[in-house]
A and B are shown apart, each in its own frame.
Chain A
Amino acid sequence: MADITRTREEGGFILEPSPTRPGPPAKIPLLHPAHNYETVTRKITSLVFNRTPSGWYIGMAILGLGMMLFTASVGYLFARGVGIWGINIPVAWGFDIINFVWWIGIGHAGTLISAILLLLHQEWRTSINRIAESMTLFAVACAGMYPILHLGRPWLAYWLLPYPSPTNLWPQFRSPLVWDVFAVSTYATVSLLFWYTGLVPDLATMRDRTKNRFLRVVYGMGSLGWRGSARHWNNYQMAYLLLAGLSTPLVVSVHSVVSFDFAVSILPGWHSTIFPPYFVAGAIFAGFAMVLTIVIPLRAFYRLHDLITMRHIDNMAKVTLVTGLVVAYGYLSEIFFAYYSGEYFEKFFITNRITGAYAWSFWALILCNVIAPQFLWSKRVRHNLPAVFLLMMFVNIGMWLERFVIIVGSLHRGHLPSSWAQYAGTFWDWSLFLGTMALFLFLFFLFIRALPAIAIFETRELIHPDQSQTETPA
């Protein structure tokens, strides 16, 4: 409702909102109101400058064991070849590609939060963007390893790149596997640049606040001579905006290209036009679930309740719910298309997915990715941290199962019944998977202790100037 009031100066009518109009209910602030510039900086830098908590050492000890498992798995793989895995014909893609797609999907939330939410002026991204971007980098590192590890001769991985070789040969540019190389390497590069550019002013803050001479030099080199001058800030903001613009198409393109690995082939269950949007939604779904999986324990451990508020958790849960619904629509449309195609093999395939040997994985997938997220409709669930954490674990597992259903489900019942076979991961499949998880968390643990986990200057921008009692230049 708006009142039409005559303004005398203009001599006409304009629309003005009535002062009595009920607005939306007051939102939880994105930052505890007691914070000022100094307290924000001190709180975030304390994660690095305070004494290392004993919990960190315990975690690192466990992750160190995981890293040894990872090293052993890779070493044994290089020594013996991919025969140590469960893959064979017809299921020639197993854990290697499942895990590749799983990890690369997880990375997507970071890019979405850093790029798209920045361009859309979603201020709630501020206290989680650094965590999400770091998660992206570490997930891409884990993902990027798999396609190389699954080559029979990983030392020839550079053959994937187009370079002037003495063989006069170029990669097959019509193959989506080559597009994948470009998509993933571009993604890794842009994500790294974006992450680092965001870090520069914060590294300068770290440089100025550290009491350790050695660290001052290290952070000083990292901050690239940042002095916080107006010109610096002007250039910085332009660069950050441009990088955000560059990253935005990547949110969509990377996982679309990954989906082409499947969709371009003619295998039932892969050859489907729904794949690119359905994969992108799945990636964001998986990514937000992983951000929440990391943020909830981190927030509790370091008592970051004043910086990462319930509104952040609530918003991320909502994004997960929405993308979960898109993914559910994808599952439904796959079934519908199989029916509507009228093709014998498509129908057989989808029946086999629902009732065949791997039906358990399909139904577990429905439970994890379709049924579990529905609880997020309720605000009470969204504000119950253990419940959100549990639901996100469901999603993490569900998104892994989705790739299992797609890859193994399609390959084990190809067009040629004589080569039908079952598939199961071996010990080394699982050990490498666990190893990459350890690597991911290992990198994360290092990150938490070495760099500001929350963007200091961006969080300070959330403070209203009136609220700040002390004015401290950057």
Chain B
Amino acid sequence: MPQVFHRSSNSIARLSIIGAAVTAALIGAIVYIVARSPLATGQHVPPAQPVPFSHAHHSGGDGIDCRYCHQSAEYSAVAGVPPTETCVNCHKQIWLNSPNLRPVRESERTGQPIQWVKVHDLPDFVYFNHSIHIKKGVGCSTCHGEVNRMQLTWQVAPLNMGWCVECHSQPERFVRPRSEIYNMQWQPPANQLELGRRLVDEYDIQKKVYCDTCHR
């Protein structure tokens, strides 16, 4: 009876075993990387906004405090997007004819709020509260990055659960003195762990990693 397969089939069969293993590993690696990439997390991409608002100009350049616009961050769950009136406080006086500000003037005239696009959009099943983080020594820039240098606003942190849990299980690596909360240039000092442990004690920071801490 003639041979069914050519001699080379042996090599192909052996190679296919290695090939299957390599392919499986490759697929796993791709999924692993893509799941953590900006493609999945939406980091570093400024979404299109109705007004090209620049934090770099207002906060970095003019030196307006974060809380001038995001007043409720210290006292409530949400930091708060300012109403049009907050913008108009200044823009009644300056840049009156700027085409970029047309939606602001429109909003003021009609009373319809500006439809800002949310940059940091957590899933609805996550309970997050700004005020407790500020009270326990987590600065703005820890999560939001150096917003005062952003011409347009984008998301710096991956905002996935592993990222939250990283700090919740080791807060001493990230906390800073309460006096430095709004310091956007703050960098952890060389003795961060030592300082962090002291602050964890002082501020009574609890390492909460229970499901119901965030999923209520």
Query: At the interface, yes or no: B9 with Cβ under 8 Å from chain A?
Result: yes
A354 to B32, CA, bound (A): 53
Query: At the interface, yes or no: B30 with Cβ under 8 Å from chain A?
Result: no
A208 to B5, CA, bound (A): 13
A165 to B162, CA, bound (A): 8
Query: At the interface, yes or no: A298 with Cβ under 8 Å from chain B?
Result: no
- The majority secondary structure among interface residues of chain A is loop
Contact partner, A220, options B5, B40, B160, B166, Cβ 8 Å? B5
Query: At the interface, yes or no: B165 with Cβ under 8 Å from chain A?
Result: yes
Q: How far is the CB of B164 from chain A (nearest CB, A)?
A: 8
Check A166 against B160 for contact (C-beta < 8 Å): yes
A168 to B169, CA, bound (A): 11
Query: At the interface, yes or no: B70 with Cβ under 8 Å from chain A?
Result: no
Q: How far is the CB of A207 from chain B (nearest CB, A)?
A: 7
Check B36 against A216 for contact (C-beta < 8 Å): no
Q: How far is the CB of B5 from chain A (nearest CB, A)?
A: 6
Check B10 against A166 for contact (C-beta < 8 Å): no
A166 to B9, CA, bound (A): 42
Q: How far is the CB of B22 from chain A (nearest CB, A)?
A: 19
Contact partner, A207, options B4, B10, B32, Cβ 8 Å? B4
Query: At the interface, yes or no: A167 with Cβ under 8 Å from chain B?
Result: yes
A168 to B158, CA, bound (A): 13
Check B32 against A225 for contact (C-beta < 8 Å): no
Set of chain B residues within 8 Å of A207, measured between Cβ atoms: 4
Set of chain A residues within 8 Å of B158, measured between Cβ atoms: 166
Given A166-B36, A224-B13, are A216 and B162 also a contact pair (CB < 8 Å)?
no
Check B162 against A166 for contact (C-beta < 8 Å): yes
Set of chain B residues within 8 Å of A417, measured between Cβ atoms: none
Set of chain A residues within 8 Å of B122, measured between Cβ atoms: none
Check B162 against A167 for contact (C-beta < 8 Å): yes
Q: How far is the CB of B4 from chain A (nearest CB, A)?
A: 4
Check B4 against A166 for contact (C-beta < 8 Å): no
Set of chain A residues within 8 Å of B165, measured between Cβ atoms: 167-169
124-164 of chain A: CB within 8 A of chain B: 164
Contact partner, B9, options A167, A168, A169, A225, Cβ 8 Å? A225
Check B13 against A166 for contact (C-beta < 8 Å): no
Q: How far is the CB of B29 from chain A (nearest CB, A)?
A: 11
31-46 of chain B: CB within 8 A of chain A: 32, 35-36, 40
Residues on A facing B (Cβ under 8 Å): 164-169, 207-208, 216-217, 220, 224-225
Given A207-B4, A217-B4, A220-B5, are A168 and B162 also a contact pair (CB < 8 Å)?
yes
Check A169 against B13 for contact (C-beta < 8 Å): no
Check B4 against A169 for contact (C-beta < 8 Å): no
Query: At the interface, yes or no: B21 with Cβ under 8 Å from chain A?
Result: no
Contact partner, A166, options B1, B5, B161, Cβ 8 Å? B161
Set of chain B residues within 8 Å of A169, measured between Cβ atoms: 161-162, 165
A207 to B32, CA, bound (A): 42
Set of chain A residues within 8 Å of B4, measured between Cβ atoms: 207, 216-217, 220
Q: Find the A residue at minimum CB distance from B169.
A: A168
Q: How far is the CB of A232 from chain B (nearest CB, A)?
A: 13
A207 to B9, CA, bound (A): 16
Check A225 against B13 for contact (C-beta < 8 Å): yes
A166 to B36, CA, bound (A): 7
A–B complex contacts, Cβ < 8 Å, 7 sampled? A165-B35, A166-B161, A167-B160, A168-B162, A169-B162, A216-B4, A220-B4
A175 to B35, CA, bound (A): 27
Set of chain A residues within 8 Å of B32, measured between Cβ atoms: 164
Known contacts A166-B36, A167-B162, A169-B161; can you find 5 more A-B pairs with CB under 8 A?
A166-B35, A166-B160, A166-B163, A167-B165, A225-B5
A216 to B2, CA, bound (A): 11
A167 to B209, CA, bound (A): 12
A216 to B162, CA, bound (A): 53
Please name the 4 residue pairs, one residue from A and one from B, whose CB atoms are nearest each other, closest first. A168-B162, A167-B161, A166-B160, A220-B4
150-176 of chain B: CB within 8 A of chain A: 158, 160-163, 165-166
The CB with the most chain B CB atoms within 10 A, among A165, A166, A225, is that of A166
Check B1 against A208 for contact (C-beta < 8 Å): yes
Set of chain B residues within 8 Å of A164, measured between Cβ atoms: 32
Set of chain B residues within 8 Å of A225, measured between Cβ atoms: 5, 9-10, 13
Q: Find the A residue at minimum CB distance from B168.
A: A168
Q: Find the B residue at minimum CB distance from A167.
A: B161
A297 to B14, CA, bound (A): 41
A168 to B160, CA, bound (A): 9
Set of chain B residues within 8 Å of A165, measured between Cβ atoms: 35, 162
Set of chain A residues within 8 Å of B160, measured between Cβ atoms: 166-167
A220 to B4, CA, bound (A): 7
Check A168 against B161 for contact (C-beta < 8 Å): yes
Q: How far is the CB of A386 from chain B (nearest CB, A)?
A: 45
Set of chain B residues within 8 Å of A216, measured between Cβ atoms: 4
Set of chain A residues within 8 Å of B1, measured between Cβ atoms: 208
Q: Find the A residue at minimum CB distance from B2.
A: A216
The CB with the most chain B CB atoms within 10 A, among A165, A167, A168, A208, is that of A168
Q: How far is the CB of A248 from chain B (nearest CB, A)?
A: 27
Chain B 35-76 interface 0/1 with A at a Cβ cutoff of 8 Å (1 = within): 110001000000000000000000000000000000000000
Set of chain B residues within 8 Å of A217, measured between Cβ atoms: 4-5
A168 to B36, CA, bound (A): 12
Q: How far is the CB of B160 from chain A (nearest CB, A)?
A: 4
Set of chain A residues within 8 Å of B161, measured between Cβ atoms: 166-169
Q: How far is the CB of A442 from chain B (nearest CB, A)?
A: 28
Q: Find the A residue at minimum CB distance from B36.
A: A166
A217 to B5, CA, bound (A): 8
Q: Find the B residue at minimum CB distance from A168.
A: B162
